[in-house]
Structure 1
Amino acid sequence: MRPEVDGDDGEEEAYKPPTKRNILEAFRWLMEDLKSGDSTEGMISDNAINDILVKPLIPGVTLHAIVDAFHSGTILDLPWAFCAEKFMTGAMTCLFVRAIWENPDITYQGLLDYMHKEIEKVNRARSPLLKVLQRKIDQEPVLSSSEKFNTNMKFKL
């Protein structure tokens, strides 16, 4: 359902399931009629995202949300990124993609174990100069779920 706007007859549109195509269409709709000076009004909290994306989940529906907040400023591929590389991701995204690519049959627990081990490797391998100039990678891969499940089952997207 879209919000009512001036001149709208108030009729609701037919239900559109949350498919990739429909979500992208909704993004396009949000971008219609932009004017100079338009802006969002503050941060979208994790509680608001939870209310919209998590609480409505019903049994049997799986939501995978991959969040790498370290480079969150580049998540939308905006045209200006400072200190950017050709392919820029955060440590967690990089390790997640590598784990899936190298281990197509990986389990949820295997995914977490892989990411933990790779972060430790990076932290041990840094040169003494880098250890003085930079902190270690202190990000921690976390898997959370709305329901208890066997983490030894195969990871699926």
Structure 2
Amino acid sequence: MLMLVNCSNCPTPLQLPPGARSIRCVLCHAVTHVADPCSVPLLPPYSASTTHQYQPLPLPAPSPYSHAPSGPSPSPYGPKRAVICGVSYKHSRHELKGCINDAKCMKYLLINRFKFPESSILMLTEEETDTYKRPTKYNMRLAMYWLVQGCQPGDSLVFHYSGHGSQQRNYAGDEVDGYDETLCPSDFESQGMIVDDEINATIVRPLPHGVKLHAIIDACHSGTVLDLPFLCKMDGHGGYVWEDHRPQSGISKGTSGGEVISFSGCADDQTSVDTSALSRVTSTGAMTYSFIQAIERGHGATYGSMLTAMRSTIRNADNALGGIVTSLLTILGTGGILGGLRQEPQLTANEEFDVFQKLFSL
């Protein structure tokens, strides 16, 4: 059993060694002191409080994130594991229509196309009756810890998020544009957002050699929300370069030997659209729809072909529906651009590679 506390200076969750009274943060290097660790009940593995205080997490019922079936494997849910978050912000002024549909579609894709066992997929949506499966900040943090817990060489992990994304001013000097990217849980107005530094520290840096993680992030301002070191800048003629986003401070944003690749809905300075215009049937996120369509239409051979197909799907929607969507974005005050859908899917990774040669697989 471990005790996990938040850094006293930043929101990074830290594992306090048994009996220790202090620990140094890997991000900001601040030293966090705990007065009497023996008097604080231990927390389940890979959990964290939602505040900056060192309080045990209330566990009124067995948590699906810390309970594992019996068996010899240290990776209890097998070599494939996924966390899927669909946040609709129901009955609030932030409500989105397509995010739960995105989550259901992604689950179907993982099970039927990529053979993920249903028991190895954690769904977090407002439709869930289980307290631990609602997309609150507390539960999303628990789920991210669960995703990487006990992973070993050969494992394939997926983190999918569909919901609001945002930005906040960065003062650590580790962002090219001066802003941290964030995800917005269902209770973000009261509990706060999940910052890219924490996401990186939780599901990127711990990954050991031989483990692969794919993130599919359908949100505004999501281009570098995993804080990965390299961003693929692709032009409209099949050319690309890797843009170096490693901070000058020297803080590592890579893994412990594993591989992380992220598809996101748009650049850090762009917004993503929640619309039924693409599917013609029901409301979905444009990025999740274009990701699934690229695979279903046979364009998922390489990462380059995936990204090209995703951008083409959204661009075609621009041409067909741009005037309507531009007017809507203007009314909403989100600043539409010529063509309408103000987003361009992005690809980031912990290491550079040939995007048109590297085969795509989950």
State whether residues 2 and 42 of structure 2, in contact with CA within 8 Å, keep that contact through their aligned partners in structure 1.
no
Distance 1:98 1:125 in 2: 17
State whether residues 107 and 155 of structure 1, in contact with CA within 8 Å, keep that contact through their aligned partners in structure 2.
yes
**Any idea what the Cα deviations from partners look like across 1:29-52, whole Å, max 9, x if unmatched?**
9739xxxxxx77322112111110
Cα shift at 1:57: 1.7
| The one of 297, 305, 326 aligned to 1:110 | 305
The 3 A distance-change label for structure 1 pair 99 and 3 is same
Aligned-residue CA RMSD in angstroms?
4.1
State whether residues 16 and 22 of structure 1, in contact with CA within 8 Å, keep that contact through their aligned partners in structure 2.
no
Q: Which amino acid in the other structure matches residue 100 of structure 1? A: I
Structure 2 residue matching 1:65: 3-state secondary structure: strand
| The one of 75, 84, 103 aligned to 1:17 | 75
The 3 A distance-change label for structure 1 pair 127 and 48 is closer
Distance 2:74 2:304 in 1: 35
Which residue of 2 is the match for residue 31 of structure 1? Answer: 132
Distance 2:44 2:346 in 1: 43
Cα shift at 1:58: 2.4
| The one of 189, 214, 217 aligned to 1:64 | 214
Matches for 1:133-148 after TM superposition, within 5 Å: 133-134=328-329, 135=336, 136-148=340-352
Q: Which amino acid in the other structure matches residue 17 of structure 1? A: S
50-59 vs 124-133, greater mean Cα deviation? 124-133
Cα shift at 1:104: 6.3
| The one of 145, 149, 154 aligned to 2:359 | 154
The 3 A distance-change label for structure 1 pair 18 and 11 is closer
Which residue of 2 is the match for residue 50 of structure 1? Answer: 200
TM-score, reference length from structure 2: 0.31
Distance 2:302 2:322 in 1: 33
**Any idea what the Cα deviations from partners look like across 1:84-140, whole Å, max 9, x if unmatched?**
978532100000001001116521000111111122211111264554444311111
The 3 A distance-change label for structure 1 pair 88 and 18 is farther
The 3 A distance-change label for structure 1 pair 139 and 131 is closer
Q: Which amino acid in the other structure matches residue 361 of structure 2? A: K
The 3 A distance-change label for structure 1 pair 109 and 10 is closer
Distance 1:59 1:117 in 2: 34
Q: Which runs of 5+ in 1 are unaligned?
A: 33-38, 71-82
Distance 1:105 1:127 in 2: 26
Q: Which amino acid in the other structure matches residue 63 of structure 1? A: L
Which residue of 2 is the match for residue 90 of structure 1? Answer: 285
Judging by fraction of residues, say which structure has more helix: 1
Distance 2:205 2:341 in 1: 32
The alignment status of 1:123 with 2:318, answered yes or no, reads yes
Distance 2:305 2:275 in 1: 30
Q: Which runs of 5+ in 2 are unaligned?
A: 5-38, 46-65, 82-118, 123-129, 134-186, 221-273, 330-335
State whether residues 275 and 283 of structure 2, in contact with CA within 8 Å, keep that contact through their aligned partners in structure 1.
yes
Distance 2:345 2:316 in 1: 14
Which residue of 2 is the match for residue 79 of structure 1? Answer: none
Judging by fraction of residues, say which structure has more strand: 2
State whether residues 123 and 137 of structure 1, in contact with CA within 8 Å, keep that contact through their aligned partners in structure 2.
yes
The 3 A distance-change label for structure 1 pair 30 and 145 is farther
Structure 1 residue matching 2:301: 3-state secondary structure: coil
Distance 1:130 1:84 in 2: 9
TM-score, reference length from structure 1: 0.64
